Amino acid sequence: MKCIIIDDEPLALELLEDFISKIDFLELVASCSSGIEAMSALQKEQVDLIFTDIEMPDFSGIDFIKTLEPKPMFIFTTAYSHYAVEGFNLNAIDYLVKPIPFHRFLKAATRANNLLLSKNKPAPIEAQKEACDFIFVKSEYENIKINLSEIKYIESLKDYIKIYTNKEKPILTLSSLKSFEERLGKTNFLRVHKSFIVGLKHIYSVQRNRIIIDDKWIPIGLNYREDFIKKIDN
């Protein structure tokens, strides 16, 4: 995680440099004695985190942060506790009051690192799949585009599955129901039987252990009933 330090006190800069050198996930890009110097550093290098003092000669650390758009993550390091509320109102990661013990510095840096990792974490595979509103399936000698919103239910037929949509004729494709279930995700679709997946928006009614979609009666398997009830209750 690339970071810069801003402080007009040389000893404070030296201490923070030492702290950063002890933390593997931090990379110090620049040590700056003023906000103006920091602005110059930010023009040369993109950073993830700023450690800044508040009371400085040219303008305050708070005013400096307000000028940044978009704002990197930032942590205030100051001798004055009375700025804390204003600091947190700016969405500071943390507010460290001097003299800063290493364990508090480490805690604040770790919090910033965890936030950065969560932002950069790839979306779950299921979410990535469901972000697209259509799929292609191979049927005979062509790849057919199917809008997910049009899928009413899918029926397993040994090595094949039959996909029922708004179209009059179902689409037959070579696939297992399990692999197709993984392609669809579980937000708008749910497996309700070893042989059936249903599109939740197309359910007309539920009667005991069966679902009605159009004029089709689809059984709810015992092993799937609990998940199905929870889904429709929500």
Are 65 and 37 within 8 A, CB to CB? no
Would you state the pLDDT for residue 121?
Answer: 66
Environment class of 148 (CB within 10 Å of its CB; exposed 0-12, middle 13-18, buried 19+): buried
Rounded Cα–Cα distance for residues 54 and 174 (Å): 65
Q: Which of 2, 1, 4 is nearest to 41 (CA)?
A: 4
Locate 234 and state its tokens.
């929500």
Q: What is the pTM of this model?
A: 0.53
pLDDT mean across residues, the chain: 89
Would you state the pLDDT for residue 126?
Answer: 52
Instruction: Give pLDDT tens digits for 138-190.
Output: 888 888 999 999 999 999 998 899 999 988 899 999 989 998 988 888 888 99
Dihedral sign from CA coordinates of 115, 117, 122, 127: negative
Low-confidence ranges of the chain (pLDDT < 70): 121-132
Dihedral sign from CA coordinates of 79, 18, 32, 45: negative
Q: 23: how many CB neighbours lie within 10 A of its CB?
A: 17
The full DSSP string for 35-72 is HHHHHHHHHH---SEEEE-S--SSS-HHHHHHH-SSPP
Rounded Cα–Cα distance for residues 43 and 63 (Å): 18
- Find all residues with CB under 8 Å of 42, minimum gap 6, and list them: 4, 68
Locate 56 and state its tokens.
């400085």
Rounded Cα–Cα distance for residues 71 and 62 (Å): 12
